[in-house]
Each structure stands twice: as C-alpha cells, then as structure tokens.
Chain A
C-alpha cells in the first residue's frame, strides 16, 4: 500500500464577497489522494477551484468543511508545514532583496540551522540555475528568473511534498522546459510533486496521475493512460466514391475535399462504416485511430457545467 502524502476529503468552501453580493461556492466536496513519490497533476479550467484547494492545503484559507492531511499529519500543524515546499502562482516580488537574501529569509522562517544555511542556499541556487544571479536585486530579475528563485525557496527545506500552483504560467518555452526539468529531478529524488495547471501538454508530459477538476469537484482521477483510454476511441476514415451525406452510419464529423471525403466515427461504429462503404463500392484511402486527448476529456466534463 503506497504511502499517502496528501489526502483531501470532501472539501467545501463558499466565499462571501460582500453585503450586496451573493456568495460564491467554489469547492463543492472535492476529494483526492496523492501517493508518495508520484507527480500528480491537478488539471482544470480557470475558476475550477484549483488555487482555492491549494490555499486550503497550505492553510491560507479555511475550508468550511472537509479534511486535509499532509504526510500523515493534520495540515495545520507546523510539522506538516515543514515538510511542504510551496510555490504560488505568480512570483511575488521582494524587489529590495537579492535572490540570496530572499532565500536566507526563507531559510530563517523554515528554521534551517544557521550553520547549514549558506550551503543549502548555494546548493538550491545551483539546482535552479541561479547561482550566477543570486546576488542581484530581485527587482531586476526576469519572470523566468523569479520563477526559478521561487522554486528554489520551495526546495530550501528539503521538502517531502512539493505543492506548485501553476508553475509554468507565463513562461516562455525555455522557461517551461526548465521548470519541467526541475520537477522531474525532484521526482527522481523521491519527492512527491503536486501541481496545478490548465496547460494540458505539460500535464500529459509530466504526470503519473491526474485529477480533473471542474466547478469545484474532482470529475475524474487516474493515470493519463487510464483516463484517456476509458473513453471511446475514434477513427478518422478517408475514402472516395461516396459522399458522406449519403451514409447512414452515425458520423461524429465529416468533410468533403477534392475527390476524397473524410469522416470521424466512434470505435463502435467503425465496423458498420466499413461495411457500408464496401456495400456502396467506395474506395477506402486511409483509416487512423484517434485516441481521445485530455483536452477532449476536459471539454466533455466542462460542457455539463454552466459557466
């Protein structure tokens, strides 16, 4: 039985913006588990409740009900917080501090022993590729540099669990690749990584398991492979000699080009389509299986939600 590093159960949260505004229910009973040493993705559209969930885990907001445990401890305990490395969505700017001073400040907050601080800070700066710029004021950093230092402060306490809120947002492709590499390195070292994102390719590329969050609830959880293969595959078929409108088989999509037609059918209807094409004397040009992507999955779940 794998160790559960993060457990969230039936989390609910409603915000009350003001006297004359109606309350907003953001989390509607959200539950999921994160296992030790896995990279877990929290995927969902904007407004799904990803950031609210993460803030609840880090005790920045207080949920109305539900339970959260971190590394087997209640998430409110200081001990639990010591095991977490947290990075917020956009880098905050202490523009008056250098990167090194900022990390020193974080190290003090974490309670890192003074004699070990400088070594650890240097090591972290190396890990995130900021060794050369560590002594410049953070006000002069680019967005990518800030993101890296922010990642660095999350590593400072040698955390067991990394919680990253949209770690790749706003970065150029090189920046995103850097963050991806850093995440993979941490995972290889045995650190559990939990991050939220709305960028599907990143999640597909990195995660062992994914939770799809839409409208305050987890809609689906599993490995990417499981999630996607659970849904029906489709096929794209190209042929000539018959117009798609004449076909009786259910089509998901069709298109007529010069001399050829293209249709998309579900895997159940695939055989029926082939028989019909043969009956009508059409010439089959090509047939390609289409696996559903996470994007499709997300769309499906989002459609049911009134936004």
Chain B
C-alpha cells in the first residue's frame, strides 16, 4: 500500500510541476469566462448558454488533460528507464500500474475542481444563485474521466506514448457515439454492419451513461438508480481496464 501511495503522490507531484498543466487550466478558465461573450449574443436565457458552454468545457478540458497527462506521466515513464528504478525495488508490477492510475486520476480531479469552481462563480454572477447541480455534473464528469484514465493507463502499458494517447482520444469519441450509432443502425438491414456496431457498443464503455448535462441545465429530476448504476458501471469498467493493464505489464520485458 505504501508503494502505491508513494507512486501516486510522485505522479501527482510531477504533473503539478509540469507547466503544460497550467496551459490547459488557463484555456479552460478563459473558455468558461468567455461565455459572457456568447451570453451577449443570445435573445433569452443567458444562464443556459453559460451552463452549456461551461459543462462542455469542463468535459473537454478534463478529457484533454487525462489524455495528455497520461502520455507524460505514464507512457513516458514506461518508455524511459525511470521505471527500472521503481520495479527493481520490492514493488509489484500491479502496484506500479495502480499507483500511476491513481496519480493520474488525482490530477484530473484537481483540474476539474478548479474549473467547477470557476463555473459555479460564473453562474452565481448570472443568476444570483448557487447551483449545486453543477457540482453533481462535475462529479459525473469525474466518473467519466476515471474510465478514460483507465483506458489511458492500459494503452500506456500496451504501446508507444503518442499512439496510446490517440487511442485514448478515440475511446472518448467512440464512447460517446456508440449508443446513438447503435440505436440508429438497429433499423438497418445489413447484418454485418449491425454486428460490428453492436460489438463496439458492448465492448467500449458507453460514456453517455455519465452524461446528465441536459438534466442539470434544464433542472430536471434525476433518478437515483441512474446515478447508482453509473457508479457501479464506472467501477466495473475501471476494474476491467486496470486488471488488463496489470496483466499485460506483469509479463512485459522492460528492455
């Protein structure tokens, strides 16, 4: 346990001291603040646009950070020799994988926290009210990102840094598209296409399950079962991905 914690803390610290992170956070904050501009263009409810843009930025920049940071924090270490130092010590390979993952998740969470803070303040300025549902949306985004981070960890162990990042990005896109594509193609006559899309749908985590943005923006009720099962779903996905990553890493020759 100490080894996992030490690796996670070291990973987190490396990210904090890396200047690229500040670039992303800066962009995210500028994005959220510039919603003022869009608010001015609309006729009607400005707060809706602020929330829509803010929540999208929250998701997009968290995804970007998960993808880029995984390249810096995990792929790079596995690719370089710094991992030798760790694994020659009394540390199991799965402990390394888990520690790296937790460090990555921590940095994504820290970033998400900052963006959420900015968004909550922006909405407070527009509506005069604190909207707790924004925090809920952030929590759900965090669930989504923890699944994405698990993908990033798996790909970091499987392949080269840049390729791994691209594949994680692809998982993000497919994860959001697969459900709709599957719905659309269920009516199609071609069985092969349907089979392919159905396979993709079941194999790739459906990231839309963590998407409650419409409910948050329009103040709709959210069934607790949907949230509960989303948590279970995320945990299961993360478990599978990390297990596969540890399995692969266990047998890998570190040349």
Contacts and interface: CB of A to CB of B under 8 A. Distances in A.
Interface in B87-115: 87-92
Given A78-B90, A82-B90, A153 B85 contact: yes
Interface in A140-188: 153, 157
Contact of B82 (A58, A78, A94, A111): A94
A266 interface: no
Contact of B90 (A60, A97, A111): A111
Interface string A66-89: 000000000000110110101011
Contacts of B218: none
Interface string B38-66: 00000000000000000000000000000
Contacts of B84: 55, 58, 60, 86, 88, 92
A84 B88 contact: yes
A96 B90 contact: no
A206 B34 CA distance: 67
Contacts of A9: none
Interface string A248-282: 00000000000000000000000000000000000
A110 interface: yes
Given A108-B3, A108-B6, A111-B2, A92 B85 contact: yes
B251 interface: yes
B81 A88 contact: yes
B254 interface: yes
B159 interface: no
B254 A61 contact: yes
Contacts of A108: 2-3, 5-6
A109 B91 contact: yes
A139 to B, nearest CB: 10
A15 B255 contact: yes
Contacts of B253: 15, 60-62
A90 interface: yes
B86 interface: yes
Interface string B1-44: 01101110010011001100000000000000000000000000
Nearest to A110: B89
Contacts of B13: 96-97, 101
A153 B253 CA distance: 23
B80 interface: yes
A109 B87 CA distance: 9
Nearest to A84: B88
A105 B254 contact: no
Contacts of A61: 253-255
Contacts of A55: 84, 254-255
Contacts of B81: 88-90, 92
A15 B18 CA distance: 36
A89 B85 CA distance: 11
Interface string A95-137: 0110001000110111100000000000000000000000000
Contacts of A15: 253, 255
Contacts of B90: 78-79, 81-82, 109-111
Contacts of B2: 108-109, 111
Contacts of B18: 96
Contact of A96 (B14, B85, B251, B254): B14
A59 interface: yes
19 contacts: A15-B255, A55-B84, A60-B87, A60-B253, A61-B254, A62-B253, A78-B90, A86-B89, A92-B80, A92-B81, A92-B85, A93-B82, A97-B10, A105-B10, A108-B2, A108-B5, A109-B86, A109-B91, A110-B90
Given A84-B88, A109-B91, 14 more contacts: A58-B84, A60-B87, A60-B254, A61-B253, A62-B253, A78-B92, A88-B84, A88-B85, A92-B82, A106-B85, A108-B3, A108-B6, A109-B7, A109-B90
Instruction: Kindly list the 8 A-B residue pairs having the minimum CB-CB distance in the complex, ordered from nearest.
Output: A108-B6, A78-B90, A86-B88, A61-B253, A58-B88, A96-B17, A81-B90, A92-B82
